[in-house]
A = this chain, B = another copy of it.
Amino acid sequence: MKLGVCYYPEHWPQDLWAEDARRMRAMGLSLVRIGEFAWSRIEPEPGRFDWAWLDRAIDTLHAQQLGVVLCTPTATPPKWLVDAHPDMLAVDAQGRPRGFGSRRHYCFSSEAFREQSRRITREVAGRYGRHPAVVAWQTDNEYGCHDTVLSASAAAQAGFRRWLARRYGSIEALNRAWGTVFWSQEYRGFDEIDLPVLTVTEANPSHRLDWRRYASDEVVAFNREQVGILRELSPGRPVSHNFMGFFTEFNHHDVAADLDVATWDSYPLGFTQNFFLTPEEKVRWARTGHPDIPSYHHDLYRGMCLDAQGRGRWWVMEQQPGPVNWAQWNPAPLDGMVRLWTWQAFAHGAEVVSYFRWRQAPFAQEQMHSGLLRPDSALAQGAVEAAQVGAELRELAGRTGLDGLRVRAPVALVFDYDALWMSRIQPQGADYNALELSFRIYSALRGLGLDVDIVSPRAALGTYRLIVLPAQLHVADDLLQRLAQSAAQLVLAPRAGAKTAELHIPAELPPGPLGALSGVVVERVASLPPGWVETVRWADGAPATAGRWREDFELRDAQAEACFDVGRAAVARRGRVRSVAAWLDAAGWQRVLRAAAQDAGLATADLPESLRISRLGDLIVACNFSDQPVACTPAGARQPLLGNDTLAPCGVAVWKA
């Protein structure tokens, strides 16, 4: 469990660097990420490199025994490069090149830029790959940020045609897979295929899905080129990339397959304001963030890069240290939250928590983004709390071993990028948001006190006792096999198995290949306007409500466990498999999941919304996301290591089990 920080030596006078490094060290930080936006300083003119400053920066950090996480600088190609290769710019869905002046102004399919990316990566890795300070690499920065995965460039169109030709072999196969007989969309050759933009109305959904798959593969290929060079020139250093939150534009599992460590950038308050929470939730969690937003991603990214022992290697590469600048509203965290978030990440298995950024920059786009230091170099509240965690870590490490601790979650929640794309392409109801549903179900699990692995559809499932498919629109054969062979309780949320790989309705109707397990067939689906509420009742009369989405089940080999007031099964059970026919409220999901957990022999709790408990090895960690104290004695908690049974506002407690 290490602390780190993101640093931009190029932003500051060189005479500040040594003192900065000394203060980092004193604060308990041991890793420093640098370089991801420094191309114009590294290569100020085409082919002319200025290494002196970067040599000195790395040496200065090294002198304080700080490990450097070095980045390839490809997220911000300099103006001279854009001017030399204007075709490298991504093109938006309206056909407009996306210009220079901010960041990520490149098209993944541009061969010119790909060559430049390889060249600069080779230069940087060649110079620093074996530098003793360099302990890890990050490729590029936040792939896809600002909607930059899809590009409607000529290069993307040409690449898409080649990708389709490889995928389908013949145009007839593509015509079948896309169902182009519909609306006379048939193609006579791959050369006739455009990108699905600027169509009169909705383009063919299979066409759109393949475009997303192609674009995702381009990100994978781009990243793989960098990884290959880094592995060659910087042996032994793990290679990572910093993913984002609530971001599904490319298949992260595919990119992560080429990495050693998955990292992500955790901004709990920004995500709380900018995503799908209700206005009431945005106020309630304004200064703490929704408790389950960080852990949802911790548990997701833990599933990206498994080591030889199957342990997920992951970091928080950027941790919110105070107010940010990019959300619709940017509140300040309550005192204690930066410490809490850090402990929460460690409790979910993070190897490193690295704050973004060291010192708030007083200029340019992110000048209102706080850092550990204020622009005047005074400590901000986040730094005080980071230092506190540093001290606590040292103290705990002295009392108990912190190495090799591992999350062993009994619950798996499957997260499938391809299926999420399917749901976005045809949501069928304006507020059917599969990512939100996945989060809401996760949140219900966490409210029951359960530890959760969020896993790839390709993950081994054998160890889990409860498996949840919140948005599994398509179920591949191998996933089906693993589900069938599992002994776990299984909970299928609406739309499970609703589509084939080509984005058709399966011939046997949803849930398609899952039908044999679930014993139900979905006869009909309905999306429901806001305000339309269906009541759901269990045999004991306890009600929950449902909205947004409901399915009509035909029960072929299953029993109703709960019914809609207006008829039909809302929850159907066939042995260890429960199928849910609607978008339930929180009480409804907890009801279903509690029953499944009990059937799986898992003890559940009934936690307040603002209290969360996690288990890491033999540690139990509790986090209080409120401004009031709360009593908490987790089952099995024996020896308090940090805090006690009454958690202070924004407080953390750690016990040994």
Q: Indicate which residue in B40, B286, B428 contacts A529 across the interface (CB closer than 8 Å).
A: B286
In whole Å, how far is A514's beta carbon from the nearest beta carbon of chain B? 16
CB of A103 closer than 8 Å to a CB of B: yes
Residues of B close to A192: CB separation below 8 A: 79-80, 83
Q: Which residue of B330, B363, B430 contacts A502 across the interface (Cβ within 8 Å)?
A: B363
Measured in the bound complex, the distance between the Cα atoms of B199 and A552 in whole Å is: 47
Q: In the complex, which of the residues B186, B205, B508, B525 contacts A365, with contact meaning CB atoms closer than 8 Å?
A: B205
When A178-B364, A197-B99, A330-B526 are in contact, do A185 and B40 touch as well, CB less than 8 Å?
Answer: yes
**In the complex, chain B residues whose CB is within 8 Å of the CB of A181:** 10-11, 40-41, 364
Say yes or no: is A76 at the interface (Cβ < 8 Å to chain B): yes
Contact indicator B204/A286 (Cβ below 8 Å): no
CA distance A183 to B37 in the complex (A): 5
Cβ B381 vs Cβ A100 within 8 A: no
Q: Is the CB of B286 within 8 A of A532?
A: yes
Contact at A39–B362, with CB atoms within 8 Å?
no
Query: A199 to chain B: which residues have CB within 8 Å?
Result: 98-102, 105
Q: A194-B101, A323-B525, A526-B331 in contact; A41/B96 too (CB < 8 A)?
A: no
Interface contact B39-A184, CB-CB below 8 Å:
yes
- Identify the closest chain B residue to A145 (Cβ): B201
CB within 8 Å for A524 and B380 given contacts A192-B83, A532-B283: yes
Chain A, 276-295, contact with B by CB distance < 8 Å: what is the 0/1 string? 00011011001000000000
B330 touches A527 (CB 8 A): yes
- B80 lies within 8 A of A183 (CB): no
Binds B, one of A18-26, A110-118, A162-170, A368-376: A368-376
Say yes or no for A322: interface residue by CB 8 A criterion: yes
Contact (Cβ within 8 A) B368 A426: yes
- Chain B residues with CB under 8 Å of A40's CB are 180-181, 184-186
A78 near B184 (CB under 8 angstroms)? yes
**C-alpha gap A95/B94 in the complex (Å):** 11
Which residues on B sit within 8 Å (CB–CB) of A279? 529-531
- Which residues 68-123 of A have a CB within 8 angstroms of B? 73, 76-80, 83, 90, 94-105
CB distance from A569 to the nearest CB of B (A): 15
Asked if A636 is at the interface of the complex by the 8 Å CB criterion, the answer is no
**Complex Cα–Cα for A95 and B97 (A):** 11
A187: CB under 8 A from chain B? yes
CB proximity of A496 to chain B, nearest CB, Å? 16
Q: Does A395 contact B (CB under 8 A)?
A: no
Q: Mark A229-246, 1 if CB is under 8 A from B, else 0.
A: 000000000000000000
CB–CB A426/B99 < 8 A: no
Q: What separation, in Å, do the CA atoms of A454 and B374 have in the docked complex?
A: 34
- Identify 15 residue pairs between A and B in the complex whose beta-carbon atoms are under 8 Å apart, listed by A's number: A40-B181, A76-B184, A77-B184, A79-B185, A80-B188, A83-B192, A104-B201, A179-B367, A203-B365, A282-B529, A325-B426, A325-B428, A329-B430, A367-B505, A380-B524
Known: A37-B184, A80-B188, A103-B184. 12 other contacts (CB 8 A): A11-B181, A76-B183, A101-B203, A102-B202, A178-B364, A202-B365, A206-B363, A279-B530, A323-B526, A325-B426, A329-B529, A363-B502
9 pairs of A and B residues whose beta carbons are closest in the complex:
A179-B363, A182-B364, A40-B184, A362-B505, A76-B184, A101-B199, A179-B364, A332-B526, A283-B531
Q: Show the binding face of A for B, using Cβ within 8 Å.
A: 8, 10-11, 37-41, 44-45, 73, 76-80, 83, 90, 94-105, 145-146, 148, 178-188, 192, 194, 196-207, 273, 279-280, 282-283, 286, 322-323, 325, 328-332, 360-368, 370, 374-376, 380-381, 426, 428-431, 502-509, 523-532, 552
